[in-house]
A and B are shown apart, each in its own frame.
Chain A
Amino acid sequence: MRGFLLNRLSQSLVLLLIVSVIGFVVLNLIPGGPLAQFGLDPSMTQDDLNRLKEQLGLNRPLWLQYLDWAWRLVQGDWGHSFRDGTPVLDVIGRHLVATLLLMGSSTVIAIAIGTWIGIRGATHRYSVFDYLATVGAMVALSIPTFWFGLVGIYVFSLRLGWLPAGNMYTIGDGSVLNHIHHLILPSIVLALVHVAIWSRYMRTATLDVISQDFVKTARAKGLSERRILMKHVVGNALLPMITLAGMQLPSVLTGALVTETVFTWPGMGRLFLDSLGYSDYPVVMGLLMFSAILVVLCNLIADIVVAIIDPRIRLS
């Protein structure tokens, strides 16, 4: 176990290093840069721009900027936003709650419905339900989320007037009910794709288990179908789902770029877009490293959890 952990951790560090170098270089290759936002402002003279460049440390060679940034990061200093001077972790923290709320609820919806559809599809293979679920999943997977978002707003907000067209809550009304009302449309739109993915995986996993010998044995023992499904099938079929969850969990914290913009949701996805737009290097790099670390961590945790639950897998 210890050997496994050390091995995985060292791999992860190399991965993070590569991600950070590529991210840093690509970010700096984008034309414009952090001072472009002042380019058409007549009040900023060339002297002012040069002064800001120096103060932000942007006139140093790129490798030096990178080393400086990386060294601070290793020491736990994520830097300060170019735009307003606040620490990067504060900036991220301020957007995390909104994203957690949206992605958390959509993930819960996706897992609950996806798992149910998957199991039912497997136990009633080639039934009408199964066909409908398969076609539905294909449709959900092939149509972009923003389209669902716009259609949802058009139908449920503008036409029917049932749900708000966006925002996290009505300004001046911070009640839980108001939050939930605003949450319905974006979380369902976001969940659509994930329901599709989860149901497909769950269906396959369940089918795998159903044809196993121990299920036949259970049946031979005369157990009820319900008991077989609950006790023997689902538990085992959920195992591969843990790995899938490990892969999907990071997105719960890093947000959804498009959906957050369509629904004016103040989350991490929009923070990333805005920061890119202003070339706010420290925040963009912070978000990049934040999600990279999450991906690495969640996958590691998923592997460990699977190993603990399933005694057949040995981490060595």
Chain B
Amino acid sequence: MTEDKTTKSTYSRRDALRLMAAGGIACFAAPNLLGKPAFADTANPTGRVVVGLSQEPTVFHPLMAHIEVDDAVHFSVFDALFRMDPKGVLQPNLAAEVPTQKNGGISEDGLNWRIRLRDDVRWHDGEPFTAEDVKFTLELITNPNFRAWRTGGHSLVRDITVVSPTEITWRMEKAFAPYLSFLAETFMVPKHILEKEADPNASAFNQAPVGTGAFKWAQRVAGDHLELVANPQYFGDGPYIERLVFKYIPDMTVLYTQFKSGDIDLTDQAYITADHYEEARALPERVVTLEPGASLESIYLNLEKPQFKDPAVRKALYAAIDRKAIIDAIYYGVGTLTETFMPRESYYYNPNLPAQEFNLDQARKILDEAGWVPGPDGIRQKDGVRLSFANATTSGNNLREQVQQFLQQTFAEIGVEMTISNLPAAVMWGEFWLKSQFDSAIAGVTYLIAADPDATNRLATSAIAAKGGKGSNTGQYSNPEVDALLEKGAQTFDPEARREIYNRVQEIVREDLPFLPLFAPTNVVGRKEGLDGFAPNANTRTASWQAATWRWQS
């Protein structure tokens, strides 16, 4: 019958595919064998690492709109001018040095930039990497027909001039210090391949990218995994492993099961779920660690609501949160206490902020002193405003829902009423969140863009979308001093000077409490024992930011 035929042809098709795959592998193996003697100083890459991801990487053109999970591939196949190291300091990558005002790379007014490039870099196809590629990359991002990812910063670039194959200059429309960090997430693409494409959004390159990175594109089985192979001509340290595989496992429990069974060697996004942490730690021949992330889990207060206008209310609520209990009892002990939006791993983290103390008596006292007195129903009120508000988050996020119930009880003890009204993700994070239609919300939010300390997008008055601003200041926080500091910080290039500015911003925000920090989420990262050279980096969005240095213990 028809079905018999179908199956037969399936098998022969599979065989054909296998032959093609074998041919592909042979193609990659051959140059490796030939290349070895010429590059005696490069280690002999051996072994394979399988990285598990819970979303599928699909966007391989690193400049196109993409999501976090695609970064794992971009960081392995491509290079940017700079790279942000785990301490939050920029290191040269394709550039020979990080330009500063001191070394003359950036003019005193911050408007004229000059980048010197390495001269020993080649694309995976053997063509040399030059300043022309940098120019092409920067111009492609602002091409109005190109479906680019972030254009912030890039849109300020004017008059790009290629001085020599290893030197490029441009002018900025205005001084914008975060652009340096943005460039650390701007991967360079080859001009000689992409300039021939008529439609920049639908090129063959999208499915077979060519970069300068430590790993070359090998093959992809859509919906399942993709495979990269070592680039023996890589200019940097490594690679030490021959094959790097990104395996897509759509279910978080299955991701953990396959880590346990040994099918995957390393868990990248979205890592191991917190409820498996205790069990995972006890697994033999596995290393399971808690690695900080860049986001902050907090209670967002809509400061335009009359309940939250009084700073005393915010202080009292903060004092009434038993954060330790929340982390230990609800989040399986996975999470770090913090007082600021700045990730601990940032160079700009302020360690000297006053620590919150859980104290219900103190909370009551603050409210009493501020004139919020209990009404007939036991709920405090002042000038006709009842201290009652709704709290929203994604419905179905059961850990956050437990936090809500926990807070509801403790807040009630100080005479504050909190109701819970959760919404489906698509509704919650749409207009409701972006246009500040909530009373209060629990959200995990990243404040920094490309790990730059400039938090204008979340904290500046000009970033309140509900008031016609451009940005994500959904809590409607507005403090002229913070505005001025942010303005200054975005135009200051010296890291030391910037640290002072952003430390002050963190102090003011800690004092004002526009949001109440719960904890900084940590990722449960698991890897097989024997996988060396792995270093987490909270200043990137992926655990696979530097697979070049990974190696198996021999």
Q: What chain B residues lie within 8 Å of A42 (beta carbons)?
A: 445-449, 457-458, 472
Q: Residue A94 contacts which of B59, B202, B222, B243 (CB distance < 8 angstroms)?
A: B222
Contact B10 A86 (CB under 8 A): no
Q: Bits for A76-100, please: 1 = Cβ < 8 Å to B, else 0.
A: 0000110111110001001101101
Contact B445 A40 (CB under 8 A): yes
Q: How far is the CA of A37 from the CA of B14 in the complex (A)?
A: 34
Q: How far is the CA of A299 from the CA of B288 in the complex (A)?
A: 54
Contact B221 A85 (CB under 8 A): no
Q: In whole Å, how far is B401's beta carbon from the nearest beta carbon of chain A?
A: 19
Contact B225 A37 (CB under 8 A): no
Q: Residue A245 contacts which of B3, B10, B261 (CB distance < 8 angstroms)?
A: B3
Interface stretch among A13-21, A218-226, A228-236, A263-271?
Answer: A263-271
Contact A45 B457 (CB under 8 A): yes
Q: In whole Å, how far is A308's beta carbon from the nearest beta carbon of chain B?
A: 14
Contact B151 A31 (CB under 8 A): no
Q: In whole Å, how far is A297's beta carbon from the nearest beta carbon of chain B?
A: 12
Contact B7 A105 (CB under 8 A): yes
Instruction: Scan residues 441-459 of chain B and give those whose CB is less than 8 A from a CB of chain A.
Output: 445-450, 457-458
Residue of B nearest to A93 (CB): B222
Contact A43 B429 (CB under 8 A): no
The answer to whether A31 and B427 touch (CB under 8 A), given A94-B222, A97-B14, is yes
Q: How far is the CA of A56 from the CA of B146 in the complex (A)?
A: 10
Q: What chain A residues lie within 8 Å of B185 (beta carbons)?
A: 43
Residue of B nearest to A238 (CB): B1
The answer to whether A85 and B147 touch (CB under 8 A), given A36-B426, A171-B245, is yes
Interface-central residue, B17, B50, B250, B429, by most chain A CB under 10 Å: B250
Residue of B nearest to A56 (CB): B147
Q: What chain A residues lie within 8 Å of B484 (beta carbons)?
A: none
Q: How far is the CA of A51 from the CA of B525 in the complex (A)?
A: 36
Q: How far is the CA of A301 from the CA of B65 in the complex (A)?
A: 43
Q: Bits for A42-77, please: 1 = Cβ < 8 Å to B, else 0.
A: 111111100110011000000000000000000000
Residue of A nearest to B426 (CB): A32
Q: How far is the CA of A158 from the CA of B472 in the complex (A)?
A: 46
Q: Residue A249 contacts which of B2, B201, B202 (CB distance < 8 angstroms)?
A: B2
The answer to whether A43 and B147 touch (CB under 8 A), given A179-B14, A266-B223, A270-B250, is no
Residue of A nearest to B243 (CB): A172
Q: What chain A residues lie within 8 Å of B17 (beta carbons)?
A: 97
Contact A274 B56 (CB under 8 A): yes
Contact A55 B145 (CB under 8 A): yes
Q: How far is the CA of A48 from the CA of B142 in the complex (A)?
A: 11
Q: Residue A31 contacts which of B222, B251, B424 (CB distance < 8 angstroms)?
A: B424
Q: Residue B10 contacts which of A104, A172, A175, A270 (CB distance < 8 angstroms)?
A: A104
Contact B426 A266 (CB under 8 A): no
Instruction: Scan residues 243-277 of chain B and give those whose CB is less than 8 A from a CB of chain A.
Output: 243, 245, 247-251, 254, 257-258, 261, 263
Interface stretch among A160-168, A199-207, A208-216?
Answer: A160-168
Q: In whole Å, how far is B479's beta carbon from the nearest beta carbon of chain A?
A: 19
Q: In whole Å, how far is A171's beta carbon from the nearest beta carbon of chain B?
A: 5
Contact B147 A104 (CB under 8 A): no
Contact A40 B429 (CB under 8 A): yes
Residue of B nearest to A273 (CB): B250
Residue of B nearest to A252 (CB): B6
Q: Residue A166 contacts which of B59, B148, B152, B258 (CB distance < 8 angstroms)?
A: B258
Contact A84 B59 (CB under 8 A): yes
Q: Residue B150 contacts which of A36, A37, A48 (CB distance < 8 angstroms)?
A: A48
The answer to whether A271 and B254 touch (CB under 8 A), given A42-B448, A42-B449, A104-B3, is no
Q: Residue B1 contacts which of A33, A45, A111 (CB distance < 8 angstroms)?
A: A111
Q: What chain A residues lie within 8 Å of B225 (beta carbons)?
A: 171
Contact B257 A176 (CB under 8 A): no
Q: How far is the CA of A127 from the CA of B429 in the complex (A)?
A: 61
Residue of A nearest to B59 (CB): A84
Q: How far is the CA of A55 from the CA of B21 in the complex (A)?
A: 36
Instruction: Scan residues 376-417 of chain B and give those whose CB is less than 8 A from a CB of chain A.
Output: none
Contact A39 B429 (CB under 8 A): yes
The answer to whether A45 and B147 touch (CB under 8 A), given A83-B58, A104-B10, is no
| B192 adjacent to chain A (CB < 8 Å) | no
Q: How far is the CA of A38 from the CA of B6 in the complex (A)?
A: 41
Q: How far is the CA of A248 from the CA of B216 in the complex (A)?
A: 42
Q: Bits for A139-173, please: 1 = Cβ < 8 Å to B, else 0.
A: 00000000000000000001000000111101110
Q: In whole Å, how far is B11's beta carbon from the nearest beta carbon of chain A?
A: 8
Q: In whole Å, how far is A175's beta carbon from the nearest beta carbon of chain B?
A: 8
| B535 adjacent to chain A (CB < 8 Å) | no
| A9 adjacent to chain B (CB < 8 Å) | no
Q: In whole Å, how far is A294's beta carbon from the nearest beta carbon of chain B?
A: 13
Contact B425 A32 (CB under 8 A): yes
Q: Bits for B44-58, please: 1 = Cβ < 8 Å to A, else 0.
A: 000010100000101
Residue of A nearest to B429 (CB): A39
Q: How far is the CA of A41 from the CA of B222 in the complex (A)?
A: 25
The answer to whether A84 and B251 touch (CB under 8 A), given A31-B424, A43-B449, is no
Contact B250 A261 (CB under 8 A): yes
Q: How far is the CA of A86 from the CA of B152 in the complex (A)?
A: 26
Q: What chain A residues lie within 8 Å of B365 (beta carbons)?
A: none
Q: What chain B residues lie within 8 Å of A262 (beta carbons)?
A: 251
- Return 25 A-B CB contacts under 8 Å, by A number: A33-B426, A36-B429, A39-B434, A40-B445, A44-B65, A44-B149, A44-B150, A52-B65, A84-B207, A85-B61, A86-B202, A95-B222, A98-B223, A100-B10, A111-B3, A166-B254, A172-B243, A176-B11, A264-B224, A264-B248, A264-B251, A270-B223, A270-B250, A271-B223, A274-B250
Please give 7 more A-B residue pairs, beta carbons under 8 A apart, in addition to A45-B470, A51-B144, A176-B14.
A42-B449, A44-B65, A111-B1, A165-B261, A176-B11, A266-B223, A274-B250
Interface positions of A (Cβ within 8 A of B): 30-33, 36-48, 51-52, 55-56, 80-81, 83-87, 91, 94-95, 97-98, 100-101, 104-105, 107-108, 111, 158, 165-168, 170-172, 174-176, 179, 245, 249, 252, 261-262, 264, 266-267, 270-271, 273-274
